[in-house]
């Protein structure tokens, strides 16, 4: 047996839950999370008091090995981080605040108790950072791949909630942050995995990943934009918003469909970092395709009036206008640098491992 490897069957389900409970037992900065929680891990359900007057949000997101993550290059801590932040990102997109989470894990035999603890360290780290508590979950074994699913509640003032459906013709279409970096990171990882598997001898393949450090971090530890969604709530009126978990293009489609509107997206305005540009160049691919079709970004796409956009630009440098909402009949178009309009492709590649 490997050193430090405890088989799941040796501790049993309840032993495992006990170890999980220890890892997620931290004190959150927001004391109301603890005050309003009546029952956490250990009973048939969790029980908590909602904040009076607030709307309750509930979201869930699952991640499956081989579809959303590859354990040959993803650490369990990073996986735990991502499983939490993908839910937080959904709550940020509603302009809400995360509160409580439950976590379902399906564990194949290759996963040890220590690996589950690592997963929950990543979960606890993200929960502590964004002020959210793990209050329950479920544990199963599987003969197939590993899976992690998180359900999360959030809260929002009724009049502050932003859905996908309020975009108005003439609105600016904007994004937070920089796009395409997570996809660039994944491209590098898949390339090195392939090179490694083809090397006759592992010593023949010693990649220098130093130049890609920032890009890889964007893949492993994406940051949900709760920070900016709070600035928005305070300073402006967002008409419609969605988080970018599946590439900008498909989110533009979702937002426009819900808002019964069309859009133009200005390719040359898409915000991309130089490091992302150079990765795309290495692969002889378009960096704009990374921005439009790369997943797991967790930035926000939103529609906002001109005046409010100007106001927002004065308080943060981290938002970019990438297009406009137009009449539904005009469709959804990409405007190239040379001014040519073409229908925006909705999907580039699917999930993990495509491209």
Q: Is 103 in the site for ligand ADP (CB under 6 A)?
A: yes
Tell me how far, at minimum, the Cβ of 156 lies from ligand ADP, in Å: 25
Q: What would the 3-class secondary structure string for 123-156 be?
A: HHHHHHHHCCEEEEEEEEECCCCCEEEEEEEEEE
Tell me how far, at minimum, the Cβ of 113 lies from Mg ion, in Å: 18
User: Which residues contribute to the site for Mg ion (CB under 5 A)?
Assistant: 138
323 binds, among Mg ion, ligand ADP, none (CB under 5 to 8 A by kind): none
Q: Is 12 in the site for ligand ADP (CB under 6 A)?
A: no
How many angstroms separate the Cα of 226 from the Cα of each of 105, 248, 274? Answer: 26, 18, 25
Burial class (CB in 10 A: 0-12, 13-18, 19+), 14: exposed
**CB crowding 302-336: b at 16 or more within 10 Å, else e:** bbbbeebbeebeeeeebbbbbbbbbeeeeebbbbe
Can you say whether residue 184 is alpha, beta or left, with left for phi > 0 and alpha for psi between -120 and 50 degrees?
A: alpha
Question: What part of residues 286-325 is at the interface with ligand ADP (CB under 6 A)?
Answer: none
Q: Among residues 105, 326, 334, 344, which is the contact residue for ligand ADP, using CB under 6 A?
A: 105
Distance (Å, whole) CA 204 – CA 207: 9
Q: Is 25 in the site for ligand ADP (CB under 6 A)?
A: no
With respect to ligand ADP, which residue has the nearer C-beta, 47 or 199?
Answer: 47
Tell me how far, at minimum, the Cβ of 21 lies from Mg ion, in Å: 14
Q: Is 42 in the site for ligand ADP (CB under 6 A)?
A: yes
With respect to Mg ion, which residue has the nearer C-beta, 20 or 236?
Answer: 20
Q: Is 41 in the site for ligand ADP (CB under 6 A)?
A: yes
Query: Is the separation of the CB atoms in 184 and 276 below 8 Å?
Result: yes
Tell me how far, at minimum, the Cβ of 323 lies from ligand ADP, in Å: 41
Write the binding mask 130 to 149 for ligand ADP: x where contact by CB under 6 A, - elsewhere: ----x-xxxx----------
Can you say whether residue 341 is alpha, beta or left, with left for phi > 0 and alpha for psi between -120 and 50 degrees?
A: beta
Footprint of ligand ADP on this chain (CB under 6 A)? 17, 20, 41-44, 103, 105, 134, 136-139
């Amino acid at each position: 047996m490997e050193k430090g490897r405890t088989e799941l069957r040796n501790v049993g389900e309840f032993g495992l839950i006990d170890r999980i409970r220890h890892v997620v037992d931290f004190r959150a900065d927001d004391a109301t999370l603890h005050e309003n929680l009546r029952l956490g891990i250990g009973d048939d359900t969790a029980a908590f008091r909602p904040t009076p007057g607030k709307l309750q949000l509930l979201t869930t997101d699952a991640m499956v090995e081989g579809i959303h993550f590859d354990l040959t290059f993803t650490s369990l801590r990073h996986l735990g981080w991502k499983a939490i932040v993908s839910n937080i990102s959904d709550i940020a997109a509603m302009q809400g605040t995360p509160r409580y989470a439950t976590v379902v894990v399906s564990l194949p035999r290759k996963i040890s108790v220590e690996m589950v603890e690592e997963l929950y360290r990543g979960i606890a780290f993200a929960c502590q950072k964004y002020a959210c508590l793990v209050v329950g979950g479920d544990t199963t074994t599987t003969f197939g791949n590993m899976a992690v699913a998180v359900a999360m509640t959030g809260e929002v003032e009724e009049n502050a909630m932003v859905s996908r459906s309020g975009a108005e013709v003439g609105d600016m279409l904007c994004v937070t942050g920089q796009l395409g970096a997570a996809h660039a990171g994944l491209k590098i990882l898949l390339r090195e995995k392939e090179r490694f598997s083809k090397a006759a001898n592992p010593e023949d393949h010693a990649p220098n990943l130093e130049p890609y450090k920032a890009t890889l971090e964007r893949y492993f530890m994406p940051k949900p934009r709760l920070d900016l969604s709070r600035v928005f709530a305070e300073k402006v009126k967002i008409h419609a918003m969605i988080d970018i978990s599946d590439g900008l293009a498909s989110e533009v489609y979702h937002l426009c469909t819900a808002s019964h509107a069309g859009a133009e997206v200005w390719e040359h305005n898409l915000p991309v970092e130089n490091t992302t540009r150079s990765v795309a160049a290495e692969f002889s691919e378009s960096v704009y395709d990374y921005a439009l079709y790369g997943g797991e970004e967790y930035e926000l796409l939103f529609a906002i009036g001109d005046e409010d956009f100007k106001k927002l630009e004065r308080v943060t440098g981290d938002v970019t206008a990438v297009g406009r909402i137009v009449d539904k009949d005009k469709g959804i178009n990409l405007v190239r640098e040379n001014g040519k309009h073409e229908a925006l492709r909705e999907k580039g590649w699917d999930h993990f491992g495509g491209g």
